[in-house]
Amino acid sequence: MLRGYTGKEVTPSKRYTDAECQALLDSDLKAAIAVVESNVIVQLTDTQKAALTSFVYNVGSGAFVQSTLLKKLNADDMRGACNEMRRWKYDEGNVSKGLVNRRAVERELCLSD
C-alpha cells in the first residue's frame, strides 16, 4: 500500500516499490510545476516557484487557476498573493493544524526573494 498518496493510479491492495512511489511523486510534481509555469505571468525566483508548486500539488490545479492568489500574483502583488495561502487551511470544513503549518512554510518561501 502506498501511504499518504491519493492519486487515482493507486490500487489500495497493491504494495509499491520505492521506485514506483518516486515515479508517482515525480509525475505529480512535474504536473504541478507545469501548472505554475503555464499560469503565472510574473517572474518568480526558484524558491517562490517551489512554494507555489507545493501549493498546487496540495490544493489542485483547478483550485489554483481559479484562485484570488493567482489573480494577485499575476497583478504583481507578490505579498498579497503569498498572504492568500493562509486562507487555504480547511479540510472538510474544519481548520487543519497540518494545513496551517504547511501554509505558513509555503508562505515564507513564497515571500522570500
pTM over 0.75, yes/no: yes
Q: Say if CB 75 and CB 68 are below 8 A apart.
A: no
At 5, is the pLDDT very low, low, confident or very high (cuts 50, 70, 90)? low
For 23, the grid coordinates are 515515479
Phi, psi of 59 (to 5 degrees): -90, -20
Start-to-end CA distance of the chain, whole Å, equals: 39
At 1, is the pLDDT very low, low, confident or very high (cuts 50, 70, 90)? very low
Within 10 Å of residue 97's Cβ, how many Cβ atoms?
A: 10
Q: Domains of the chain by range and CATH?
A: 18-111 (1.10.530.40)
Q: Is the C-alpha dihedral spanning 54, 7, 86, 81 positive or negative?
A: positive
pLDDT single digits (tens) 47-106: 999 999 999 999 999 999 999 999 999 999 999 999 999 999 999 999 999 999 999 999
